Amino acid sequence: MPFDQLQGVSFGWSALEGTHAFNADQQALHENFTAVEPVYEYEHVDNNCSISGGVVYRGSQVPVSGTWYIFSDYCTGKVQALCIDDQRKNCGVVDLGTVEKSVGIVSDAQGEVWVLSQNGLIVPIIAG
């Protein structure tokens, strides 16, 4: 969601995690806020535990069409790309590989994406 559209928006945290109740003693919505449903939900199954980082790919080294959000999971190391269409709907998830103990995803000045690992690795997202 573009930054200039965030005023008055609530994603529900910390009452909700995605669409699921998380903290029952918290309110998901307050007065004057509009609820925004998640585009994608990430389940804590198969050792998935925590999304690390996340950036939109804006580089030129990987030939893609559409908008792709790159993220990883700390516990599994799985790096994935989420496709978002023009209506802000999920149009698919692609596995990009694994980086053990990934703790962040960043982009450089050219829009290329790098995965940061707690092990000291800095791994580029490349085509192929």
**Residue pLDDT tens, the chain, 128 long:** 777 887 887 777 777 777 888 888 877 666 777 777 888 888 888 999 888 878 999 999 888 888 999 999 999 999 999 999 888 888 899 999 999 999 999 999 999 999 999 999 999 998 87
Q: 65 and 30 in one domain? A: no
Residue type present at position 5:
Q
> Against a cut of 0.85, is the pTM above it?
no
DSSP strands (E only) in 37-126: 51-56, 67-73, 78-84, 90-98, 102-107, 113-117, 122-124
Pairing of strands 9-10, 34-35: parallel
Instruction: Provide the domain limits for residue 63.
Output: 40-128
pLDDT of residue 29: 67
pLDDT of residue 16: 77
Q: 109 and 46 in one domain? A: yes
pLDDT of residue 122: 95
CA distance 20 to 27: 13
Q: 50 and 113 in one domain? A: yes
The set of residues, in sequence order, having a beta carbon less than 8 Å from that of 3 and lying 6+ positions away, is none
Q: 110 and 89 in one domain? A: yes
Q: 79 and 32 in one domain? A: no
* Bridge partners of residue 67, in order along the sequence: 84
